[in-house]
């Protein structure tokens, strides 16, 4: 009797496991590089909940935060080859998979967050995204602004490009960031995100550049004194998917995944926007940072110092056609925005 009962229980357990395994037709394993307290992770949680619920259980999502699978670049490589299905990208990493994506990291390209979102919905960007998918097997589904990047350092307040002279400024592994700091007279020093805090703490670099919310959330105020809110680059966290996997989904499930990604981006952006506009500056001042906002004339000096070198770099790397197409698209976006308020 006991052995018969055990056999029945074993059979029931096996059936339950088989039933659970069959419940999901598709698995999405996704990696991102931030902590579970971050707005980015909250966005991925929304993606997980939406996709699992609205697929009727046909898709199971596992989100792996805090660089468990390696750096942002390493996780994107895994997504490219299909070892995982999705990964976190940003404006500093996608160009290694498709060169023209470096345009997203161009200083002073976007005047505000909404301008960037309209560009990401444009035909011009759709062509870039299709080309990246074809070339690298990676497709950007949605992107959230995590704020404009600003400079911090321990040497002096940066009020003009001349103040950058001699400062070892940490930059991500992006050619655009290297060219930007070089054009201002600084010494660009690539350091992986995961090593940044230690590099500042140990004096390997003098400064770094990131959005205000990131500077606050990752306690950079503990190892940095001066903050210049120059808003030189718009940070864009993106949800990137393996193109082969994406195409393998039935159309109705592709729509669910795309909508989930857009909802995730909206979730992150809402919290980041509040940080950047309301809470972060006051909090950083209270933590002891010296905060400086450039005057309009000083801000123009930064733009003037970088515009020609960066456009020349872009055209040399990418050719005139795509660079001119992007700037023309942004001009159309700005013109449409002006017309909308007239």
Q: What is the pTM of this model?
A: 0.80
- Region 301-329: mean pLDDT is 93
The tokens describing 224, both together, are 């940095």
| pLDDT at residue number 2 | 44
Q: How confident is the model at residue 10 (pLDDT cuts 50, 70, 90)?
A: very low
| pLDDT at residue number 296 | 86
- Region 161-187: mean pLDDT is 92
Q: How confident is the model at residue 22 (pLDDT cuts 50, 70, 90)?
A: low
Q: Report d(CA 318, CA 100) in Å as an integer.
A: 6
145 φ/ψ angles, rounded to the nearest 5 degrees: -65, 130
Identify the weakest region by mean pLDDT among 232-241, 254-263, 268-277. Answer: 268-277
Q: Report d(CA 184, CA 162) in Å as an integer.
A: 7
* Backbone dihedral region for residue 219 (phi beyond 0: left; psi -120 to 50: alpha; all else: beta): left
CA 342 distance to own-chain centroid? 34
Question: Do residues 24 and 57 touch, judged by C-beta distance below 8 A?
Answer: yes
Question: Do residues 184 and 302 touch, judged by C-beta distance below 8 A?
Answer: yes
Identify the weakest region by mean pLDDT among 130-139, 141-150, 200-209. Answer: 141-150
Question: Do residues 42 and 271 touch, judged by C-beta distance below 8 A?
Answer: yes
Cα angle 60, 39, 77 (rounded to 5 degrees) comes to: 55
- Region 267-271: mean pLDDT is 93
Report domain extents, the chain.
18-340
**Owner of token pair 């029931």:** 12
| pLDDT at residue number 257 | 98
- Region 212-225: mean pLDDT is 93
Question: Do residues 231 and 158 touch, judged by C-beta distance below 8 A?
Answer: no
Question: Do residues 47 and 61 touch, judged by C-beta distance below 8 A?
Answer: yes
Q: What is each CA distance from 177 to 15, 126, 193, 309, 316, in whole angstroms?
A: 55, 24, 14, 12, 16
The string of pLDDT tens digits covering residues 49-70 is 999 999 999 999 999 999 999 9
Per CATH, the number for 18-340 is 3.40.190.170
| pLDDT at residue number 185 | 95
| pLDDT at residue number 173 | 78
> By CB neighbour count within 10 A (0-12 exposed, 13-18 middle, 19+ buried), where does 86 fall?
buried
* 146, containing H or E segment: strand 138-153
139 φ/ψ angles, rounded to the nearest 5 degrees: -130, 135
Identify the weakest region by mean pLDDT among 49-58, 173-182, 216-225. Answer: 173-182
The string of pLDDT tens digits covering residues 65-109 is 999 999 999 999 999 999 999 999 998 899 999 999 999 989 989
Question: Do residues 41 and 239 touch, judged by C-beta distance below 8 A?
Answer: no
Please report which residue ranges of 164-250 form alpha helices under DSSP H: 175-183, 196-201, 212-217, 243-248
DSSP 193: G
- Whether 4 has a pLDDT exceeding 70, the answer reads no
| pLDDT at residue number 23 | 80
Looking at the chain, the whole-number percentage of residues with pLDDT higher than 70 is 94
């Amino acid at each position: 009797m006991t052995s018969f009962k055990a056999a029945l229980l074993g059979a029931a357990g096996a059936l339950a496991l088989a039933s659970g395994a069959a419940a999901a037709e598709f698995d999405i394993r996704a990696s991102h590089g931030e902590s579970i307290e971050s707005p980015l992770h909250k966005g991925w949680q929304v993606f997980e909940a939406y996709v699992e619920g609205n697929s009727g259980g046909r898709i199971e999502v596992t989100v792996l935060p805090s660089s468990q699978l390696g750096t942002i670049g390493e996780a994107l490589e895994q997504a490219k080859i299909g070892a995982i299905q999705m990964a976190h990208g940003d404006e500093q990493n996608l160009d290694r998979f498709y060169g023209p994506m470096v345009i997203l990291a161009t200083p002073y390209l976007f005047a505000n967050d909404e301008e960037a979102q309209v560009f990401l919905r444009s035909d011009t960007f759709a062509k870039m995204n299709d080309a990246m998918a074809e070339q690298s097997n990676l497709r950007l589904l949605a992107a959230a602004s995590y704020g404009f990047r600003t400079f911090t350092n321990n040497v002096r307040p940066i009020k003009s490009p001349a103040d950058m002279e001699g400062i070892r400024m940490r930059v991500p592994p992006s050619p655009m960031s290297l060219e930007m700091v070089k054009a201002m007279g600084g010494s660009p020093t690539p350091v992986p995100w995961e090593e940044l805090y230690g590099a500042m703490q140990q004096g390997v670099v003098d400064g770094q550049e990131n959005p205000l919310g990131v500077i606050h959330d990752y306690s950079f105020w503990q190892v940095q004194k001066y903050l210049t809110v120059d808003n030189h680059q718009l940070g864009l966290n993106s949800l990137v998917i393996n193109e082969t996997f994406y195409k393998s989904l039935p159309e109705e499930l592709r729509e669910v995944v795309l909508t989930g990604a857009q909802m995730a981006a909206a979730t992150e952006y809402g919290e980041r926007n509040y940080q950047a506009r309301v809470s972060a500056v006051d909090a950083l001042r209270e933590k002891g940072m010296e905060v400086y906002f450039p005057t309009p004339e000083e801000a123009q000096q930064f733009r003037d110092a970088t515009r020609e070198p960066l456009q020349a770099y872009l055209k040399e790397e990418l050719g005139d056609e795509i660079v001119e197409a992007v700037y023309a698209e942004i001009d159309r976006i700005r013109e449409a925005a002006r017309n909308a308020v007239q």
